Structure 1
Amino acid sequence: MEHFKSRRTMSKSAVKISSDLLSNPLCEQEPSFLEMVTAFDTAMKRMDAFNQEKVNQIQKTVIEPLKKFSSVFPSLNMAVKRREQALQDYKRLQSKVEKYEEKERTGPVLAKLHQAREELRPVKEDFEAKNKQLLEEMPKFYSSRIDYFKPSFESLVRAQVVYYTEMHKIFGDLSAQIDQPGLSDEQRERENEAKLSELRALSIVADD
Structure 2
Amino acid sequence: MTSVEGEDDKQEAVPEACTYRGDSGRRPGFVTGGFNYTVGLETVPELGWAEAGRAGVGGRPRAAPCAELGAPSCRQGGVGRRSSAALRGSEDGGGSGLRRSAGSGLLGCEALAALIPFKIGQPKKQIVPKTVERDFEREYGKLQQLEEQTKKLQKDMKKSTDADLAMSKAAVKISSDLLSNPLCEQDAAFLEVVTAFDTAMRRMDSFNQEKVNQIQKTVMEPLKKFSSVFPSLNMAVKRREQSLQEYRRLQARVEKYEEKERSGPAMAKLHQAREELRPVKEDFEAKNRQLLEEMPKFYSSRIDYFKPSFEALLRAQVVFYSEMSTIFGDLTAQIGRPALSDEQRERENEGRLGELRALSIVADD
* Structure 1 equivalent of residue 349 of structure 2: 192
Structure 1 runs not aligned, ≥5 long: none
Judged with a 3 Å threshold, the aligned counterparts in structure 2 of structure 1 residues 90 and 150 are, in CA distance, closer, same or farther, namely same
Aligned partner of 1:62 in structure 2 is 219
Structure 2, unmatched stretches of 5+, are 1-156
Q: Which amino acid aligns with 1:67?
A: K
The two structures have a TM-score, normalised by structure 2, of 0.54
Q: Which residue number corresponds to residue 258 of structure 2?
A: 101
Q: Shift in Å at residue 139 of structure 1? A: 0.7
CA contact (8 A) 1:11 1:47 kept: yes
Query: In the alignment, residue 8 of structure 1 is paired with which amino acid?
Result: L
Normalised to the residue count of structure 1, the TM-score between the two structures is: 0.91
1:110 to 264, 267, 277: 267
Equivalent residues of 1:97, 1:113 under 8 A apart: yes
Task: Give, as a single letter, the amino acid of the residue that structure 2 aligns with 1:14.
Answer: A
Structure 1 residue 183: Cα displacement: 4.7
Higher relative contact order (CA 8 A, sep 6+): 1
- Decide which of 265, 270, 289 is 1:132's aligned counterpart: 289
Question: Are the equivalent residues in 1 in contact too, given 2:196–2:331 (CA < 8 A)?
Answer: yes
Aligned to 2:305: 148
Quote the offset at 1:184 in angstroms: 4.2
Compared CA separation, residues 160 and 207, structure 1 to 2 (3 A) = farther
Q: Do 2:211 and 2:317's aligned partners in 1 also have CA atoms closer than 8 Å? A: no
CA, structure 1 residues 162+131, in 2 after alignment: closer, same or farther (shift >3 Å)?
Answer: same
Q: 1:163 to 1:207 in 2, by over 3 A?
A: farther
2:183 to 26, 30, 33: 26
- Normalized per residue, the structure richer in helix is 1
- What's the counterpart of residue 169 of structure 2? 12
Shift of 1:148: 1.5
Picking from 219, 234, 242, the partner of 1:85 is 242
> 2:316: which partner in 1?
159
The alignment of Structure 1 onto Structure 2 pairs a total of residues equal to 208
Spell out, residue by residue over 1:28-65, the C-alpha distance to the aligned partner (whole angstroms, 9 max, x if none): 22211110010010011011111111111111111111
Alpha-carbon shift at residue 207 of structure 1 (Å): 3.5
Match of 1:44 in 2: 201
Q: Which residue of 1 aligns with 2:231?
A: 74
C-alpha distance in 2, partners of 1:21/1:188? 20
Q: Which moved more, 1:141-150 or 1:35-44?
A: 141-150
Letter in 1 for 2:239: R
**Cα distance in structure 2, aligned partners of 1:189 and 1:166:** 31
Quote how far apart the aligned CAs of 1:80 are.
Answer: 0.3
Cα distance in 2, alignment partners of residues 161 and 202 from structure 1: 51
**Partners of 2:267 and 2:276 in 1: CA distance:** 14
| Deviating more after overlay: 151-160 vs 21-30 | 151-160
| 2:335 aligned residue (174, 178, 191) | 178
